[in-house]
Amino acid sequence: MTDFATNIARDDQSWTWILRIDGLGPALSGAELAAADSDGRYRFCTAIPDYAASMPSSVWQDLLTEIPAPLRERVTDLGGATELGSLTIELLDGDDLLTQEIRTERPPLTRLSQTIDTNDTSVGVDSTTGLSADDNVWNGAEAMRITVVGGSSITVQRGALNTDPTVHDEDSEVYQSINFLRGRRAYLHIAPIDGDSSADEEELGAWVIDSLEWSEDLNRWVLLASSQLKPLARQIPLQPRRMRAEAVNGDPSNDAEVILSIPPQTRASDLRLWTTNTTPDVFYVRHESGEVMTLTGDANGFVGTRLRTYRRDLLRTGRAELKADEVFHQVFMAEPSAPGSFRYSPGPSPSTSRTSGTWTPVAHFIPVMAILLTSSAREGDGLELTNYVAARGNFASLPPGFGVGYPAGNIDWDSWFDVWNRTPDYLFPYFVFGDEAVEFGELVTHNFLRPMGAYFITSAGLAKIVLPRLPLIGSAVLTIGEANILKRPVGGRRQYLPRVSVRRDRASQASAIRYIVGPNTKAPVTFHSAEFGATFGQGGYYGTDEKPIDIHVPAGDPDTPEIYARRGLSRLWRTRRPRIEVDGDFDASVWSGLPLGDVGELTLAELPNLAAGLRGWDSVLVQHLEAEPRGQEGAGGGFYTNSRMLGYGPDVRIGRVAPSAHIVEVSDGVIAIVTTNRYTHTDAQSPLPTNDAAGFHVDDVVRILNLDGTDAGGGATETVVSVAGDDIELSGDFGGLMAAGQVLDYANYDDADPQQTSRYAFMSDATNLTPGSSNDDAWLYGEP
Amino acid sequence: MSVPNYLIATPIRFAAASYTLRVDVGGTTEDLTVGFTVGRNYWLSGDGQADADGGVGGVGDLLRVVSTALGTHTEITGGYAALNSSFLVELGSLDGGDNITIDWPNSTLDESIFGFADAIVGPTADAVVGTLMPRGLWRPMKAATVDSRDRQPIVGGISAAVSGRTRVSRFATPLREREIEIARLHQSVTLAEYAPATEPYGTLEEAWINSMSLGRPFRLYEDETVRTSSSYGLYRTKDLGEPYDRDPRYNVRWRANLSMRRVV
C-alpha cells in the first residue's frame, strides 16, 4: 500500500487514471454511498485500484479505452492563471452501461408540484409512481438522491453526484436518468493502483463536456471536453446590484443628493455593508459614466431612498453630471482605510459578524484575491462569513453572489501568506469590482497577477499563489538532472538521445516594459533597456525589435511608481534577454514537485553555457511554464510529464539583503549570542528566517562591525560553524576582538563563500557596479 | 564439465510489519514473530544477507529472517531456514534435539511463499521440508544460449559537417543493459498452464506477470547453485514485450528473451 508521493518516488509505479462526471452515477443505498466516500459518481478508470475493494463495485467501471490526453497546463512567463487544454475521453460501452445510463432523451417521469429552494429536502411532485428510495432523480443540472418516497412528495439529499443545489420552479421536469451531458463537469484523477484510499487520488484537472461522438464501430463513446479550472471559470458577481436614480437634487457635479430606486427603508445590513448602528452607512457605487463615488445612508443605518454623496471621483476619471434615470451599480473598492469594502478578520479567532470583532480594510492583492475567492457564491450556500481557516483569518466577507465560494480548506495558505509577506507594498487601492460579471481568472489575471508576475495555480488539489524568485540559501529546490530526463533510442546499438529540445527564442523579447498604472493615467511608468546599459546592456540583442510590453495596472496607484520600478526592472531583464527554452519529457517527480511558475535547477551536459563559453548546464535555474502529465503504454511510457521551461541563464545574480545580527554576548570565545529579532520578525514566512541568527548558514564567511559601520575585527573574517537558536558558532574569535555590542555581518564580497555569492550580490561598488574587486557581474535586479 | 544453469529470483514483499509462525518443539508451542519492513524486497536466496534496504529497495535474505525468528523459540538453540539441493525450503534446528512441528494453519505467515501446504507439518526430527518449490524463483534448468553480458549504452549524438569534421556530444552513460536468450525451455518452466503441481510458481510466466513486468527488480544468477551476496546481477526489465515464444529451432520447446537494465 502506498500514497501518491511515495509512488511517485518509486521505480515500479503502477497507476490508474480515473474519470468522474458530475451527475452520472448509479443508485446506491445509504451504506453504499458512505462506503464510496459519499461520492456516488461512477469512477471510469483504466484499472480498478486496491482500495476500491471496500466500495460498492458498481461505482468502479474500468471502461477507459486509453489513457486520456492531452492535458496541457500552461502559464506565461508574465504571470497569470493556469490555462488548460481540452480533453478527449474514450469510454467502452461495456455491458451497454453507457447506453443504459445516459438516456438524455428519456421523457420526464414527473414534475415538481412546488418551487423549491436550495435547502429544501422535502420535494412535492405530481406523482411518485416509479420512484424508489436510493434512486437518483435529475432536475435541471442538479441530481438528488431519494431517501424516502411519500404519497405526493419525496425526501431527497440535495446536490447528489457532486452537482450544485439550485432553485427549481414548480412544474419543472423530474427525470429518472441524467438529463443532459453537455456542460457537465468532468474530473480526471490519477492514483496508485495500490493506494490506501481515495485520498491518494491526485486531481489532474477539471473539464466541461462539450460534445459526444461514437467510434466507428459504435463500441466507444467519445467525450470531448474543454478546460475548466475551477474556480477560475466562475463568473462573479452572480448578479450585479443595479440601482436607478429617481431624482438628483442639488449640484449634479458636486455634493448632490441622489435618490435611488433601491428598496425603501433597506437596512445597511441587507446590503452587507460595513456598518454600525450609530454611524451613517457608506458604500461605493459606479455611475454609468464610469465614475466611482461613495454614497451614505441616513443616521439610523438605513440606506432608504434618499442618499447623499459623500466622496466623488474616486478613480480620478472625472465627475459626471448626475441626472435622474441614470444607472448606478453597487461596487466594492479596495481602499486601504474605511470605508474600504475588502476586509478580513485576522486569525486565529476571526470574527464571523460584520458588526463585531476586527475587520481590516485591505488593498493588497493577496487578501483581496482571498476575499474574492472565499466569499459566498450565492445566497444559501452557507459560506458567507463562515468559509475560513481560523488560523489564517476570515476572508469570506463579501455579500453572497459576489464571491467564488471556493472552500477555504482547499487553499494553500502558506503560499498566499508567503507572497503577501514578501510584498507588503503591492497595493491596489483603485481596484473596483462588482458592476459587471467577469470570470474570476480573467479578473485577477488582468488586475493583479500579470502586473506583479505572479501565478494562480492548483497543485495537489490546492489553490496556490506563486511569485517566482531565486531560492534562498538552504531552501529546498527541485533539481532536475539526467536521472529525471527521459531518453529515446536512436539507431540500434545502445545509442540514446535525451528527449529534450532547447531553443533560444525571441518571440517575446522586448526593449521596454511599460506599466500603465491607475484607472486613468496619462503617464505610464516605462523601463527601457537603454536606461540600464551598465547592468544588462543598452544595446538590443536584436536591434530591429523595439516593441514594448505593455502591462496595464488599472487598480494600481500611479503615485507609487517605485513598486513598478522594482518589478519592471526584473521583468525587463527577463524579457529583454532572448529566452532559452527547454522542452522535454521528464519523470513524474517534475510534475509533482515543480508547480507551474515555480523555479527549479536543471543540470544537463552539453547544453551550451553562453556565459562561460563552455558546455554543460550545472544547476541552472529554470521556470516551469507548461506541463502535460502523460500516461503512455510501452517503452518510454508510464506516467511522466512533458514540460516547457524557461532558462534564466547560467549566470544570473540577484540583489539580496544580507543578514545581520547584533551581538549581545560572547560565549566560549567563539559563540556569538545575538539579539533574537532586531533585523527579522517572528512572523516571517518560510523560508525567510524568523530570528536574526537563522539568517546565517554554515560556511558563511562573516566579519564584525562597530555600530558606526567601521570594521571591529581588524580586517579578519571567520566562518560560521553552526547556528542554533540565537547562538552563532564561529571558526574563531577575530583574534580576540569579538565582543558584545558589535554587529555580525557578511564578509566583503571577495572574501565570501561561493554559496553567498554564486547567485546573489549583497554589495556593489558604487562606481563600477561590480561586487567587491572581483570581475563578477553586478547584481541584475532585486526581487521580493 | 557441465554448464551451470541460470536462475532468476524475484522479490517477495510483505504488506504487514510482522507475522506469526507457530512452532512446536518437544511439546513447547510458541508463536514466533517474523518481522519485515513493509514494501521492502526480500529474496529467497539463502545468501545470508541481512535485512536492509541496500539502496535498491531491499537485499535481505528471507530465509535468514525466518531463521532468526526460529532462533527465538525457547527450545531452539540453532534455528535455521535454508534451500536444499532440490530447491525446497527446510525449517529446523541445528542442535538436533527435539522434534519440530510447524503449525501453518495457526500462523499468519504465508506458507505458500516457502512451498508448504496449509497444514501442520511434523513433528519431524531436526527439520521440516517443504513439498513445493518456493515462490520467487525461476529455474529454467538451462544455461543461456546467448548472453550479451552487461553493455554500456551512451546517451549522445554525433554530427558531421560536409567537410567531415565531426562533433560528438555525450550527455550521460546510463545504467548498463543486457540481453539473454535461453533456448529449448520445457513448457513446464515457461507457461503457468503447464506448471507441475509441485512447482505451481516456478514458471517464467509467473515471474513475468506478477513481478518483472511490474517493474520490480530481479536477480540473475549465472549458476543456480551459487547464491551468494556477490554472485548475481540486479536488473529490471527494459522491455514490456512478452519475453517468451516458441523456440523456432525446436517447436515443442520454448525460448526466453529477456532484455534487462541494471538497477544500479
Q: Please give the full DSSP string across A247-297, using - where no structure is assigned.
A: EEES-TTSS-EEEE-S-TT-BGGGGT-S--TTS--EEEEEETTS-EEEEE-
Q: What pLDDT is stored for residue A635 in this prediction?
A: 45
Statement: residue A716 has pLDDT above 50: yes
Mean pLDDT of A676-705: 89
Task: Tell whether A632 lies on the interface with B, counting CB pairs under 8 A.
Answer: no
Mean pLDDT (chain B) is 92
Percent of chain A with pLDDT over 70: 83
Report the C-alpha gap between A778 and A569 in whole angstroms: 14
pLDDT tens digits, one per residue of A70-85: 566 777 777 888 776 6
Q: Which of residues 33 through 62 in chain B touch A, CB cutoff 8 A?
A: 38-39, 57
pLDDT tens digits, one per residue of A10-22: 667 778 889 999 9
Instruction: Name which of B38, B155, B177 is nearest A487 (Cβ-Cβ).
Output: B155
What's the pLDDT band for B211 if we cut at 50, 70, 90? Answer: very high
Task: Tell whether B238 lies on the interface with A, counting CB pairs under 8 A.
Answer: yes
Task: Tell whether B150 lies on the interface with A, counting CB pairs under 8 A.
Answer: no
Contact assignment for B154 to A487 by CB distance below 8 Å = no
Q: What pLDDT is stored for residue A544 in this prediction?
A: 43
Count of Cβ atoms closer than 10 Å to residue B79 Cβ: 22
Statement: residue A667 has pLDDT above 90: yes
ipTM: 0.70
Higher per-residue pLDDT: A580 or A436? A436
Give the Å distances, CA to CA, from A700 to A269, A697, A752, A753: 58, 6, 7, 6
Contact assignment for B152 to A494 by CB distance below 8 Å = yes
Our CA-based measurement puts residue A632 at a distance from the nearest CA of chain B, in whole angstroms, of: 12
Q: Would you state the cell numbers that stand for residue A334, as one nine-digit string?
A: 479596495
Our CA-based measurement puts residue B191 at a distance from the nearest CA of chain A, in whole angstroms, of: 22
Query: Nearest chain A Cα to B238, which residue?
Result: A635
pLDDT tens digits, one per residue of A395-446: 999 988 899 988 888 889 999 998 998 888 899 999 999 999 898 989 999 9
Measured between beta carbons, the chain A residues lying within 8 angstroms of B153 are: 494-496
Query: Nearest chain A Cα to B242, which residue?
Result: A634
CA of residue B251 relative to chain centroid, distance: 28
pLDDT tens digits, one per residue of B63-117: 999 999 999 999 888 888 999 999 999 998 877 667 899 999 999 999 999 999 9
Query: Nearest chain B Cα to A616, which residue?
Result: B171
Tell me if A769 sits within 8 A of A761, measured CB to CB. Answer: no
Instruction: Give the CA dihedral B110, B112, B113, B115, nearest 10 degrees.
Output: 140
Report the C-alpha gap between A106 and A73 in whole angstroms: 37
For CA atoms A44, A49, A55, A56, give the dihedral sign: positive
Looking at residue A485, the DSSP 8-state letter turns out to be B
Q: Would you state the cell numbers that stand for residue B221, as one nine-digit string?
A: 544468477
Mean pLDDT (chain A) is 83
DSSP assignment of chain B, as one string? Answer: -PPPPPEEE--B--SSSEEEEEEEETTEEEEEEEE--TT--EETT-S---S--TTTT--EEHHHHHHHHHTTSTT-SSEEEEE-TTS-EEEEETT--SEEEEEGGG--S-GGGGT--SSEEEEEESEEE-SSPPTTEE--SS--SEE---B--EEEEEEE-TT--EEEEEEE----EEEEEEEEE-GGGT-GGG--TT-TT-SHHHHHHHTGGGT--EEEESSTT---TTSEEEEEES--S--EEE-TTSTTSEEEEEEEEE--
Mean pLDDT of B18-40: 94
Our CA-based measurement puts residue B238 at a distance from the nearest CA of chain A, in whole angstroms, of: 7
Residue with grid cell 511510457, as numbered in its chain? A637
Q: What pLDDT is stored for residue A618 in this prediction?
A: 86
Statement: residue B55 has pLDDT above 60: yes
Contact assignment for B215 to A13 by CB distance below 8 Å = yes
Q: Which of residues 591 through 610 in chain A touch B, CB cutoff 8 A?
A: 604-606
Q: What pLDDT is stored for residue A621 in this prediction?
A: 85
**Runs of H (alpha helix) within A402-495:** 413-422, 440-444, 450-452
Q: Cα angle at A36 between A148 and A45, to 5 degrees? A: 125
Count of Cβ atoms closer than 10 Å to residue B207 Cβ: 22
Statement: residue A367 has pLDDT above 50: yes
Contact assignment for B171 to A498 by CB distance below 8 Å = yes
Contact assignment for B155 to A604 by CB distance below 8 Å = no
Query: Nearest chain B Cα to A603, which residue?
Result: B171
pLDDT tens digits, one per residue of A42-57: 999 988 999 999 999 9
Task: Tell whether A497 lies on the interface with B, counting CB pairs under 8 A.
Answer: yes
Measured between beta carbons, the chain A residues lying within 8 angstroms of B171 are: 482, 497-498, 604-606
Task: Tell whether A614 lies on the interface with B, counting CB pairs under 8 A.
Answer: no
For CA atoms A665, A670, A671, A677, give the dihedral sign: positive
pLDDT tens digits, one per residue of B151-189: 999 888 887 777 778 888 888 888 999 999 999 999 999
Report the C-alpha gap between A755 and A697 in whole angstroms: 9
Q: Would you state the cell numbers that stand for residue A266, as one nine-digit string?
A: 433597506
Q: What pLDDT is stored for residue A542 in this prediction?
A: 46
Which of A39-48, A164-173, A713-722, B102-111 comes out lowest in average pLDDT?
Answer: A164-173
Instruction: Name which of A1, A605, A615 is nearest B172 (Cβ-Cβ).
Output: A605
Report the C-alpha gap between A139 and A167 in whole angstroms: 10
Which of A407-411, A451-455, A778-782, B73-77 comes out lowest in average pLDDT?
Answer: A778-782
Instruction: Specify which residues A628 forms β-bridges with.
Output: A642
What is the C-alpha radius of gyration for chain A, rounded to an integer number of angstroms? 30
Q: What pLDDT is stored for residue A337 in this prediction?
A: 85
Report the C-alpha gap between A117 and A648 in whole angstroms: 54
Which of A1-10, A33-42, B11-20 comes out lowest in average pLDDT?
Answer: A1-10
Count of Cβ atoms closer than 10 Å to residue B181 Cβ: 15
pLDDT tens digits, one per residue of A469-513: 777 777 778 889 888 888 888 876 888 888 888 887 655 556 677
Q: Would you state the cell numbers that stand for residue A373, as one nine-digit string?
A: 475567492
What's the pLDDT band for A539 if we cut at 50, 70, 90? Answer: very low
Tell me if A470 sits within 8 A of B138, measured CB to CB. Answer: no
How would you class A668 by CB atoms within 10 Å of its CB: exposed for 0-12, middle for 13-18, buried for 19 or more?
Answer: exposed
Q: What pLDDT is stored for residue A778 in this prediction?
A: 62
Higher per-residue pLDDT: A454 or A561? A454
Q: What pLDDT is stored for residue A425 in this prediction?
A: 87
Measured between beta carbons, the chain B residues lying within 8 angstroms of A494 are: 151-154, 177
Measured between beta carbons, the chain B residues lying within 8 angstroms of A495 are: 153-156
CA of residue A758 relative to chain centroid, distance: 30
Query: Nearest chain A Cα to B39, which residue?
Result: A1
Instruction: Name which of B174, B215, B239 is nearest A12 (Cβ-Cβ).
Output: B215
Contacts of A726 (CB under 8 A, 6+ apart): A673, A674, A675, A676, A691, A692, A693
Q: What pLDDT is stored for residue A277 in this prediction?
A: 47
Q: Would you state the cell numbers that stand for residue B84, as one nine-digit string?
A: 536444499
Task: Tell whether A635 lies on the interface with B, counting CB pairs under 8 A.
Answer: yes
Tell me if B106 sits within 8 A of B123, measured CB to CB. Answer: no
Interface test with B, best of A12, A193, A501, A603 (most B CBs within 10 A): A12
Instruction: Name which of B39, B172, B240 is nearest A635 (Cβ-Cβ).
Output: B240
Buried b (16+ CB within 10 A) or exposed e, A116-145: bebeeeebbbeebeebeeebbbbbbbbbbb
Contact assignment for B155 to A1 by CB distance below 8 Å = no
Residue A310 φ/ψ, nearest 5 degrees: -120, -55
Higher per-residue pLDDT: B128 or A304? B128
Task: Tell whether A1 lies on the interface with B, counting CB pairs under 8 A.
Answer: yes
Measured between beta carbons, the chain B residues lying within 8 angstroms of A498 are: 155, 171-172
Statement: residue A69 has pLDDT above 70: no
Maximum average pLDDT range among A216-230, A264-278, A636-650: A216-230
Buried b (16+ CB within 10 A) or exposed e, B153-163: bbbbbeeeeee
Instruction: Specify which residues A746 forms β-bridges with.
Output: A702
* Amino acid in the structure at residue A732: G
Query: Nearest chain A Cα to B214, which residue?
Result: A12
Higher per-residue pLDDT: A462 or B24? B24
Number of residues written out for chain A: 784
Mean pLDDT of A755-771: 67
Query: Nearest chain A Cα to B211, which residue?
Result: A12
Measured between beta carbons, the chain B residues lying within 8 angstroms of A604 are: 171
Contact assignment for A11 to B236 by CB distance below 8 Å = yes
Contact assignment for B155 to A494 by CB distance below 8 Å = no
What's the pLDDT band for A537 if we cut at 50, 70, 90? Answer: very low
Interface test with A, best of B168, B171, B173 (most A CBs within 10 A): B171
Q: Would you state the cell numbers that stand for residue A505, as one nine-digit string?
A: 527564442
Task: Tell whether A13 lies on the interface with B, counting CB pairs under 8 A.
Answer: yes
Q: What pLDDT is stored for residue A699 in this prediction?
A: 94
Tell me if A679 sits within 8 A of A695, measured CB to CB. Answer: yes
What's the pLDDT band for A237 if we cut at 50, 70, 90? Answer: confident
Contact assignment for B171 to A634 by CB distance below 8 Å = no
Q: Would you state the cell numbers that stand for residue B106, as one nine-digit string?
A: 495457526
Tell me if A287 sits within 8 A of A244, measured CB to CB. Answer: no
Task: Tell whether A559 lies on the interface with B, counting CB pairs under 8 A.
Answer: no
Contact assignment for B153 to A495 by CB distance below 8 Å = yes
Statement: residue A764 has pLDDT above 60: no
CA of residue A589 relative to chain centroid, distance: 21
Query: Nearest chain B Cα to A10, which residue?
Result: B57
Cis preceding-peptide flag for A350 (omega within 30 of 0): no
Tell me if A556 sits within 8 A of A568, measured CB to CB. Answer: no
Query: Nearest chain B Cα to A607, which residue?
Result: B171
Count of Cβ atoms closer than 10 Å to residue B237 Cβ: 20
Looking at residue A407, the DSSP 8-state letter turns out to be -
Buried b (16+ CB within 10 A) or exposed e, A171-199: eeebbbbbbebeebbbbbbbbbbbbbbbe
CA of residue A628 relative to chain centroid, distance: 18
What's the pLDDT band for A608 if we cut at 50, 70, 90? Answer: confident
